[in-house]
Structure 1
């Protein structure tokens, strides 16, 4: 570059022209690549899932996203501000991917403003910040632009639920914008909609899993006694079909054979079933109360069976629970299913991490079945089927191990059944159950005449003779298309205690899932409904990433610690046994005085105890040293590695220029 050109370039006019060119280039590039994103995070935290993009493409209408965030009130809370920024950026991604179907408004509900009144009107939760009159909003309102009555609200976007943020937003957008919600027919003999807990003697609210269904779908409670399932039911969900009438089972059979999809939960020992009723309902299982359910006639027609007298026990998946001794004990009937228990090739289970079940059964395919059975959930090979009676009134879970002997078989506990089937009722609709003919005193009751009158009334037409009474549908002998049914041999997995923890956060109930039971139910329903987009929406990664190496060091130290602790316990047991053996040889007054041998044994144990305790402290001390050493190494890499890399690149570039000049 010549000196004259350099002088002109760095003159005032030249700098002004350079700044103008830079500005124009910046504007041009920003317009040319508007909407372009490069997500370099490991878990692609700022990239929408394909399921969300598909849902946005299929939206029937338009909606407005109103993000209420108290920016002015949270200036001294960087953690909350950073989370709010991430939420706003994710919402912007929704708007960009919606092709104009979504619109975003970021609103700061300042104190005593109209926006604050609007936030309160929507039902958003104001969180106190500690100071007098200081509180903050961070909620989301999604409203259908064509129908203001269709609205979904997240009262407070809790940072602890960030992993599920995309799924929650997509679910609510889908719920608000779609024109007609699919309808689910619900059949349950359990208190899924809330009731009264006999054990705690407290009212119980609706199950969170069922509440989730009601957020996304129209749920019609069909009861437990019906002759036909309405034609507008898109999916039948049956939970604990205990003691259903033949006509009700026939209605379920005809719905499935007629092409309807069904999701059925049965159980050899439903712990939420308050069998027997009354104040002693929770104890009736141990005195003959039946807590099992199955549909043997229908299952046989579908080529499967579930023995309701057997509970699935698994020594590998067993979870720890409390015991009479006060120590945690692994319960062979309460299992934590993990990735090795899921079908990785099915969209329902491929993205799950943990599903907890309790006293579940096993679904087995019958020999010679004409249907296909796909296993969705299964045990490990360290499992067996145990008598359900062993789990009735079980006080000490450790007692199960004396009867446990693994069979080396992986037992299915959740399956999908497809294929052509025949009705389980080849003779047609079962007759009405006969009514009692005599009263308490043995006198004849005139019920035959009443039945005849009722039948005659049902056969009548309306007075205008234009609206005949609706007839029951014709009998269907076999399916015209392959059936699609999912059967799960456990109902307890739907209860709150196995997958959610409820906490009160400034007057608001925060539900924190610790397992994927709810996701499993929604995935099954979405799949049977034919909507797989919501299933594919992954849980977002964590923005706070733990140090895996540090976790490994802590785990190794914990193992060494427990190993030394077990050695100490063993030494204590051996010493106690020797002391008792020496004591047994003494009698009279000598029994109250320690012998030299006993004193030596006690002294030996004390010395050994001090030695092991020192080793335990050394383990903890070494862990701290290892973590500190790792931290120093990371600091050296962060401080020196990048400058060193730049220096090497610069030296290499200089060396190459010298070689070219030579």
Structure 2
């Protein structure tokens, strides 16, 4: 009997020991099944690549309070799971720890000075709703540099938040964006985009009269007639191998639906870089509803001037747009390429209209007309183009501005340079971004691609756009309608009939 008891004890010890060993092995592995379309709960290949290229130890300190409201408890657990994945794929170069700053007053002060605030949270305790202070921030340390995520209230975008900061820490050259505002719109109409860019880049405004040397990505918002010196500064910025994004509005529309169009000669400058800007307005059968006021009443009406660019006509191979579902462009013009200039360049047509679009150069009546019919002649237009290659200066065929130091004049780029063109600016206006928040992803992806490279785009765009319900034909609608009405009854009748036939045959065989 004692021998049998000993065998049972040994067997139990073996089982427990095996389970412990199995658990230790699994801790080194990441086993997770992600069935979402964009695999939003799995670390992206971009993150894995960045982690594999770390050349020094990264320390992540998660400053999370132990006492949290029930709705935030899962956030802490999910952050810990995600950091465990980061640690695994970094092969030990990324280390993390969780600390509650409230346990140490000195640490609490240090964390606050880092930029991680003590936030107020509601919690039920002893049948009372109480307001407590707590921390939900993350600090990332790499060499002698530090980046901070002030508050983590959700893990929806946590991979982008962490990886973008890792990339920023590991990048030798800081990405500095210079914003050159040339639109006839009020600058106050455009604030949201700048707040978004400032989260991940060093951003400041620049003038066409002076572009600082440390600006390595120039974002030009709008366009207007510029003097030779201003054009020279932009041109030489490009000749130095610096990247540019141009959001051009050849026809600017006011709140009163008045048009302010540029002259053809005002946009001749872009032909030097292979882009022809059309001074027109494009309409499309794929469009959005726009709000209008009449007799003191607000109403929405289909408005072909508000083009809805859809995924079907985005470049399928470009990570800048291939994960976006749609982008809305209000009062958009068109652009095209100058083949002679771009014959040896890499060209990517990022966004096009549908083939059922049409253009007009008559801007006198922009009010919606529900009875207007599209013209017979329609075609596809380009909205955004990305070019990469070596360019010659605009001033190789133009006289230099007076007072320019000719010894510093650059006639061409030494290395290929990226230039991005979008024939619309309104898509990032605050009012439009509040209506269509997905629009900002397009601009951020452009900045990521030309600033950091393409690594971050894969992460940012995953699971972030809407999934519109596809329109059904009449016969499909009727199929679902009558199927829901009579389908269940028909299935019961068929199953009942089959069962009856089966039982009758069984009786006949027995008889």
How does the TM-score come out when normalised to structure 1? 0.62
Checking the alignment, whether the CA contact within 8 Å between 1:323 and 1:329 is kept in structure 2 is no
Alpha-carbon distance between aligned partners in 2 of 1:129 and 1:539, rounded to the nearest angstrom:
34
Residue 481 of structure 1 deviates from its aligned partner by 4.4
- 1:30 has 2:1 as partner: no
- Of stretches 491-500 and 472-481 in structure 1, the one that deviates more from structure 2 is 472-481
Structure-2 change in CA distance of 1:295 and 1:125 (3 Å): farther
| Structure 1 residue 375: Cα displacement | 0.8
Residues 184-223 of structure 1: CA deviation (Å, up to 9, x unaligned)? 333222599x9656xxxxxxxx623223333323334321
Residue 388 of structure 2: aligned partner: 418
Shift of residue 343, structure 1, vs aligned partner = 0.7
Distance 1:184 1:539 in 2: 21
Distance 1:207 1:406, change over 3 A: farther
> Greater strand share, 1 or 2?
2
Aligned residue in 2 for 1:535: 457
Map residues 144-543 of structure 1 onto 2, 5 A cutoff.
Answer: 144=141, 146-147=143-144, 150-155=146-151, 157-159=152-154, 162-190=155-183, 196=188, 207-226=191-210, 229-271=211-253, 286=258, 289=260, 296-308=267-279, 310-322=280-292, 324=294, 326-366=298-338, 368-371=340-343, 372=345, 373-387=347-361, 389-390=363-364, 394=366, 396-398=367-369, 402=372, 404-405=374-375, 407-427=377-397, 430-432=400-402, 474-500=408-434, 515-529=437-451, 531-537=453-459, 539=461
**Residues 250-292 of structure 1, C-alpha deviation per residue, up to 9 Å, x if partnerless?**
2222332443322111013345xx7xxxxxxx55x73x75589
Shift of 1:54: 1.7
Please say if residues 52 and 90 of structure 2, whose CA atoms lie closer than 8 Å, have aligned partners that are also in contact: yes
- Pick closer, same or farther for the CA change 1:330–1:71 going to 2, 3 Å: farther
CA distance, structure 1, for counterparts of residue 266 and residue 87 of structure 2: 47
Count of residues in correspondence between the two structures: 475
Deviations 1:488-542 (A, max 9, x none): 00111222333347xxxxxxxxxxxx54332222222232236211112255559
**Match of 1:279?**
none
> Are 2:351 and 2:383, in contact at CA under 8 Å, matched by a contact in 1?
yes
User: 1:550-577, CA deviations, whole angstroms, 9 ceiling, x for partnerless residues?
Assistant: x999999x978xxxxxxxxxxxxxxxxx
Measure the CA separation in 2 of the matches of 1:430 and 1:172. 42
CA 1:483–1:47: 2 relative to 1, 3 Å: closer
Aligned twin of 2:6: 13
Equivalence for 1:589? none
1:419-465 deviation digits (Å, cap 9, x = unpaired): 45433223555334xxxxxxxxxxxxxxxxxxxxxx8xxxxxxxxxx
User: Hey, which of these two has a bigger chunk of helix by percent?
Assistant: 1
Residues 540 and 17 of structure 1, relative CA distance in 2, 3 Å threshold: farther
Measured on the aligned residues, the alpha-carbon RMSD in Å equals 4.2
CA distance in 1, matches of 2:419, 2:61: 40
Deviates more, 1:408-417 or 1:130-139: 130-139
Distance 1:554 1:326, change over 3 A: farther
Q: Secondary structure at the match of 1:244?
A: coil
Looking at structure 1, the residues matched to 117 and 282 of structure 2 have their Cα atoms a distance apart, in angstroms, of 45
CA distance, structure 2, for counterparts of residue 225 and residue 482 of structure 1:
25
Q: Give the distance between the partners of 1:151 and 1:45, measured in 2 at CA.
A: 24
Displacement of 1:116 in angstroms is 6.4
Provide the C-alpha distance between the structure 2 equivalents of 1:124 and 1:405, rounded to a whole number of angstroms. 60
Distance between the aligned counterparts of 2:117 and 2:184, measured in 1?
28
CA distance in 2, matches of 1:116, 1:347: 41
- Counterparts of 2:41 and 2:198 in 1: how far apart (Å)? 29
Where does structure 2 lack aligned partners over 5 or more consecutive residues?
493-511
Match of 1:125 among 119, 123, 126: 119
- The answer as to whether partners of 1:311 and 1:333 remain within 8 angstroms in 2 is yes
Task: Check conservation: 1:67, 1:106, Cα contact below 8 A.
Answer: yes
Deviation digits for residues 329-361 of structure 1, max 9, x if unmatched?
Answer: 111112332211311111211111222221111
- Superposed displacement of residue 316, structure 1: 1.8
Judged with a 3 Å threshold, the aligned counterparts in structure 2 of structure 1 residues 133 and 318 are, in CA distance, closer, same or farther, namely: closer
In structure 2, the residue matched to 1:65 is 60
Unaligned runs of 5+ in 1: 1-6, 198-205, 275-281, 433-454, 456-469, 502-513, 561-618, 634-662
- Determine the C-alpha separation between the residues in 1 that align with 2:488 and 2:473: 17
Residues 57-107 of structure 1 deviation map (CA, whole Å, 9 limit, x = unaligned): 334654433334445342xx3x54334422321122122222333332223
- Classify 1:139/1:243 alpha carbon distance in 2 versus 1 (closer, same or farther; 3 Å): farther
Equivalent residues in 2 for 1:574-593, closer than 5 Å: none
Once the two structures are TM-superposed, the CA of residue 363 in structure 1 deviates from its matched residue by: 0.6
Whether the 8 Å CA contact 1:46–1:90 is kept in 2: the answer is no
Alpha-carbon distance between aligned partners in 2 of 1:520 and 1:342, rounded to the nearest angstrom = 11
Structure index of larger Rg: 1
Change (3 A) 1:185 1:146: same
Match of 2:509 in 1: none
Conserved 8 A contact 2:286-2:308: no
The answer to whether the 8 Å contact 2:65/2:136 transfers is: no
